[in-house]
Structure 1
Amino acid sequence: MLLKLDTTDTRPLHEQVAGAIRRAIAEGECAPGDRLPPARDLSRALGVNANTVLRGLRTLRDEGVLEFRRGRGVTVAEGADQRSDLLARVRLLVGDAALQGYSRADLIEMIRGIA
């Protein structure tokens, strides 16, 4: 898995790490069940602190994109490729709504009204 960070990106590094992994999954570099390299190896390859990588990995775990398994390391979750795409679209929606003056609570109410 070849990950790169954009040095001109103003987002926090842990978000960039998470984004790079999401992109690798979306582009098929990592498939569900694949094991990721250890955080230390990723941090060396990306030129960032290992804690930064771990924070990005935890974000992806919380989103359901990655699974942490004791003794087996970090693996890509089943359905992560589809979930990653959906989460990206949700983020765009939240951003667009904010530009139009809607809060997350407003979006939740809109979604409840649809379902």
Structure 2
Amino acid sequence: MLFRVVPGSPVPLGEQIAACVRGAIAKGTAAPGERLPPAREVAESLGVNVHTVLRGYQRLRDEGLLELRRGRGAVITARPGIADQARLTESVYALITQARELGLTDAEFLLTVNNCLAGRPG
């Protein structure tokens, strides 16, 4: 799996690492049950702290995309629909980025989403 980060980006490095894995799952280049490289190995290859990689892996675990097990490492969750979930999560992050570029606060963004869910115009 290929990991790329942009150190000067406003996106935290841990999130960039999570986005690499999320994208690979969404595209099908990383399969359910596949083991990710050890955090220490990824950190060394990217020139970042191992805790940064672990934060990215933990975010993916919180999203339900990874299982973290001692001695076994990080494994992509083996359940139906995992690629669809990864694609949806990527889309949500893209919307958040767009909202921030437009200057919306989190509260304004959430209000817009809630209005759309309720069938009311933005």
Same fold (TM over 0.5): yes
Tell me the percent identity. 42
Gaps of 5+ in 2: none
- 2:61 aligned residue: 61
CA RMSD across the alignment: 2.2
- Which deviations, in whole Å up to 9, do the C-alpha atoms of 1:54-86 show, x marking residues without a partner? 001111111111112344221111333211100
Give the counterpart letter for 2:30 in structure 1. Answer: C
- 1:44 aligned residue: 44
Question: How many angstroms does 1:108 deviate by?
Answer: 2.9
State the alpha-carbon separation in 2 of the partners of residues 108 and 75 from structure 1: 34
Q: How many aligned positions are there?
A: 113
Give the counterpart letter for 1:108 in structure 2. Answer: N
Question: How many angstroms does 1:100 deviate by?
Answer: 7.7
- 1:73 aligned residue: 73
- 2:31 aligned residue: 31
Moved over 6 A (4+): none
Gaps of 5+ in 1: none
Q: Does 1:12 align with 2:17?
A: no
